[in-house]
Amino acid sequence: MRVLLIDDNALTRYTIKSLLEKLGHEVVAEAEDGPGALKYFGELKPDVVFLDLILPGMSGEEILAALRVTNPAVRVVVVTAVAQDELDRRLTGKGVSFILRKPFSFDAFRVLMKELTEA
């Protein structure tokens, strides 16, 4: 799968990119803010987006809304340390495919990617 990473934390991007590549996926771009994310998304048309919720300038939910306008079918994995049932319901209602909680293990990540691939 072709993946766009959107996270302002370089270590998180590096970790996710390393895991994706280890599992045979291609990271087509990395963005640390909303404008960069939307630019890459429009140009590169990834299959999956890994999206942090807390970003400078634009929130992850604002980016999600913009992604949905461009491609309602893109699969989005929200990566967050926030654990709230209300947030989960809201994100799922906006079409988020999966929510990956930080910190996460390689095993949990591998299971998530298997489910994404089979979806």
Domain boundaries, the chain: 2-82+92-107
As to burial, measured by CB atoms within 10 angstroms (0-12 exposed, 13-18 middle, 19+ buried), residue 64 is buried
pTM of the prediction? 0.94
Q: What pLDDT sits at residue 30? A: 98
Q: What pLDDT sits at residue 18? A: 97
* CATH class assigned to 2-82+92-107: alpha beta
Residue of 79, 90, 92, 21 lying closest to 50 (CA atoms): 79
Q: How confident is the model at residue 57 (pLDDT cuts 50, 70, 90)?
A: confident
